[in-house]
Amino acid sequence: MSNVTELFSSMVFDDATMEALLPKQTYKALQKTIKNGELLDAEVATVVANSMKDWAISKGATHYTHWFQPMTGVTAEKHDSFISPKDGGKIIMEFSGKELMQGEPDASSFPSGGIRATFEARGYTAWDATSYAFVKEGVLYIPTVFCSYGGEALDQKTALLRSMEAISKQAVRILKLFGHDDVKQVKTTVGPEQEYFLVDKELYDQRKDLIYTGRTLFGCRAPKGQELDDHYFGAIKPRVQAYMKDLNDELWKLGILAKTEHNEVAPAQHELAPVFSTTNIASDHNQLTMELMQKVAKKHGMVCLLHEKPFAGVNGSGKHNNWSISTDTGINLLDPGETPYENAQFLLFLAAVIKAVDEYQDLIRISVATAGNDHRLGANEAPPAIVSMFLGTDLQAVVDAIMTDKPYAKGDKETLKLGVHTIPRLPKDTTDRNRTSPFAFTGNKFELRSLGSSDSISCCNTVLNTAVAEVLDEFAGQLEKAKDFETALHKLVQKTFKDHKRIIFNGDGYDDAWVKEAKKRGLSNYKTTPDAVAHLLDEKNVALFKKHKVFSDVELEARHEVRLENYSKLIHIEALTMLDMANKDILPAMSRFTAELADAIAKKSAAKAPCQYEKGTLKDVSTELDAMYKAVKKLEADEVKGNDITDVVKLADFCRDVIIPDMEEVRAHSDAMEMIAEQKAWPYPSYGKLLFGVR
Ligand code: ADP
Ligand code: MG
């Protein structure tokens, strides 16, 4: 289909479709449910389900599924067909209101972090009616949340929805103080910019590391990398262009607002950015985007790598999480606005974000902590593991003026007073954006740049929403009591800027000097996932989530366990893959190669021919070969030790302290051999082929 407007959302049971297909009363009742988060009554559900089924069948569906996001990071689905037996050996297609509203998948095989042990194995899925149902490959997908029998969240979405409610509640209180009595609900919005690599499928199939772990565990650098900066925004190759076109069509069908596509910094690296949407929908759409990126790539004979660091030595992939807060009346609360009053409101929300990020910097770090992302953060290609904020020159000048009680522009006599003065217009697209900052203000939103490319956006947004909700709650409490609102507001914003200025850093985040400076400022610097996740259960963090009903004690303990467990499991798989590749392919290949060299030396010596190359290479490769063998034996032995560690914290620490360094040692020797050995002798496609193989 060439008509994009027709194609767009054609496979979605969206608002327009519902309005067209549902009886008026039913449509209204459903709208109310969606807007106010009310429970859908059984009768309405039956009518909706029936109409949804007929529509889905017209789109080629035979099955339906409750689609959810367990703590594995990927989505889960179990298909049930609509068929129901009828007398006379026939069937009818049925879909009840109950089947729409609730499902009961067996939860026992999903990570639960111990929740499973205390409750029944059964889990529940329930329709998140704010996210539209859609048809994909003959299946009607119903976006759902996933809970245990006891109501504990077993997924990523439940907490996200709770955090959206928390921030809405507190922001509405603040907005009342500014006279916005019409605002009933506030939503956070997200536009996630998704980075990815494309490699040729035939080459991919020859690399066990890519197949099992999504990244290369071995590989010496190619003669050319990204040093010429010739890939970023470069002309897109025809094969990639065809892929992007196909991908856009698939995304548009599902109502996903795929908007921008371009080449990224590293060779073979690209980016896709959608237009932003409400956070829970953005989260669903990002999951679908990642899934379709991989599916469509296969059709084009390629594989899409979503790993944070598929290749050593070139940039890894992240997912810039552009985040803002908007009212149901359409005001972006992180947009400075035109009038002094709008500016004052903006500065209060800005102050809230600054304080939230400072006080919960550890949680923000934790929310992006994964084994894959550990390779990126602080590696001079992505923001450091230290969380800080960048405001930009214009906004910084405003903040400074307020903090120091000084005029904000030369020649001004008066100091900047909130609610009285208009702040200078902040250009939306400031060109001096600091690419090294983890959390940057970009005109009317903040951009969290630390998130890994393969991660769900749920966790970091749950943290952002909840932390900001907490500060807004505190601010509302103070301002509601104030006799003179404007003075109180000014004082509060000024004090907040002063108290939390340590989190603001406008310099180069990649510079070593920043690490020292950040330490002086008392900012945390958790370099690895185990370092970061250790703080998830800190008293203040538990208190935050409990107070805003985002996570209970049990749920939080479960997340702590699952995150560490996932980390250790991943490292374990990487280690086993590495051993497999070393023992079965690399060591034998290099043994043969050195034997060939030895033969050649014997023959050449007999013929009295010089053999400097053979002798030199034999010596170098043999030395590395033995060293690699020794490193492999150590990794094997340590893997055995690791198998005996049952405590999740100890095991994660062991992986960080022992297994990862072991793996680095094995790799170093292997890469050294790959660098000098004959290409034909090397058992895997090289970095050069992988990175420049798609033409
Ligand atoms: P870039 O950062 O690459 O220059 P843009 O600033 O245009 O690109 O936007 C990047 C992303 O931010 C896009 O996905 C866009 O939809 C999203 N975005 C823009 N405004 C908002 C907002 N108010 N809330 C959330 N995301 C937003
Ligand atoms: Mg951006």
Per the structure block, which two tokens stand in for 438?
Answer: 């983890």
**Residues 109-126, mean pLDDT to the nearest whole number:** 73
| Contact predicate 386/521, CB 8 Å | no
Residue-averaged pLDDT of the chain: 93
- Grade residue 2 by pLDDT with cuts at 50, 70 and 90: low
Among protein residues, the one whose CA lies closest to atom 24 of ligand 1: 324
Which residues have CB under 8 Å from 504's CB, separation 6+? 354, 388, 389, 390, 391, 396, 399
Bridge partners for 323 per DSSP:
190, 446
Which of 144, 76, 74, 132 is closest to 106 using CA atoms?
Answer: 76
Residues of the chain with pLDDT > 70, as a percent, come to: 97
Backbone φ and ψ of 205, nearest 5°? -60, -20
Tell me the C-alpha distance between 320 and 272, whole Å: 11
Residue 55 to residues 51, 126, 500: CA-CA distances in angstroms?
A: 6, 21, 53
Ligand 2 centroid distance, CA of 452 (Å) = 14
Tell me the C-alpha distance between 366 and 369, whole Å: 5
Tell me the C-alpha distance between 359 and 353, whole Å: 10
- Grade residue 406 by pLDDT with cuts at 50, 70 and 90: confident
For the four alpha carbons of 547, 550, 555 and 560, in that order, the dihedral sign comes to negative
Among protein residues, the one whose CA lies closest to atom 23 of ligand 1: 324
**Atom from ligand 1 closest to the CA of residue 275:** 16
Q: Which residues form ligand 1's pocket by a CB distance below 6 Å?
A: 189-191, 193, 273-276, 322-324, 332, 442, 444-445
> Is it the case that residue 1 has pLDDT exceeding 70?
no
Ligand 1 centroid distance, CA of 131 (Å) = 21
- Cβ neighbour number for residue 34 with a 10 Å cutoff: 17
pLDDT in tens, 247-274: 999 999 999 999 999 988 889 999 999 9
- CB-hemisphere CA count at 13 Å for 280? 24
Ligand 2 centroid distance, CA of 102 (Å) = 38
**Atom from ligand 1 closest to the CA of residue 324:** 24
Residue with tokens 């970091």: 460
Ligand 1 centroid distance, CA of 415 (Å) = 33
Q: What is the pLDDT of residue 20?
A: 97
Bridge partners for 134 per DSSP:
12, 141
Longest C-alpha distance within the chain, in Å?
102
Ligand 2 centroid distance, CA of 192 (Å) = 9
> Is it the case that residue 168 has pLDDT exceeding 70?
yes
Tell me the C-alpha distance between 225 and 337, whole Å: 44
Helix residue spans in 205-322 (DSSP H): 208-213, 238-253, 279-299
Helix residue spans in 143-226 (DSSP H): 157-177, 201-204, 208-213
**Atom from ligand 1 closest to the CA of residue 442:** 6
Query: Any idea what the Cα angle at residue 409 is, between residues 405 and 413, rounded to 5°?
Result: 65
Tell me the C-alpha distance between 600 and 144, whole Å: 66
Enclosing H/E stretch for 258: strand 258-263
Q: What is the pLDDT of residue 340?
A: 81
pLDDT in tens, 284-294: 999 999 999 99
Bridge partners for 198 per DSSP:
304
Ligand 2 centroid distance, CA of 488 (Å) = 35
Q: What is the pLDDT of residue 427?
A: 63
Backbone φ and ψ of 323, nearest 5°? -130, 135
> Is it the case that residue 532 has pLDDT exceeding 50?
yes
pLDDT in tens, 140-160: 999 999 998 888 999 999 999
Q: By CB neighbour count within 10 A (0-12 exposed, 13-18 middle, 19+ buried), where does 74 fall?
A: exposed
> Is it the case that residue 410 has pLDDT exceeding 80?
no
pLDDT in tens, 412-427: 777 788 877 777 777 6
| Contact predicate 358/365, CB 8 Å | no
Q: What is the pLDDT of residue 599?
A: 98
For every residue of 498-546, DSSP letters joined together read HHTGGGB--S-TTSHHHHHHHHHTT-----SHHHHHTTTT-HHHHHHHH
* Mutational test site, ligand 1, from 322, 325, 334, 346, max ligand atoms within 8 Å of CB: 322
Tell me the C-alpha distance between 278 and 122, whole Å: 30
DSSP secondary-structure letter at 432? T
**Residues 580-586, mean pLDDT to the nearest whole number:** 98
Which residues have CB under 8 Å from 150's CB, separation 6+? 115, 118, 119, 120
pLDDT in tens, 617-628: 999 999 999 999
Q: What is the pLDDT of residue 431?
A: 46
pLDDT in tens, 378-399: 887 888 999 999 998 889 989 9
> Is it the case that residue 231 has pLDDT exceeding 90?
no
Quick one: CA torsion of 100, 104, 110, 112, rounded to 10 degrees? Answer: 110
**Atom from ligand 1 closest to the CA of residue 191:** 14
pLDDT in tens, 339-390: 888 899 999 999 999 999 999 999 999 999 999 999 999 887 888 999 999 9
**Residues 64-90, mean pLDDT to the nearest whole number:** 92
DSSP E strand stretches across 356-451: 389-390, 439-441, 446-448
**Residues 527-545, mean pLDDT to the nearest whole number:** 97
Q: What is the pLDDT of residue 108?
A: 78
Q: What is the pLDDT of residue 551?
A: 97
> Is it the case that residue 646 has pLDDT exceeding 60?
yes
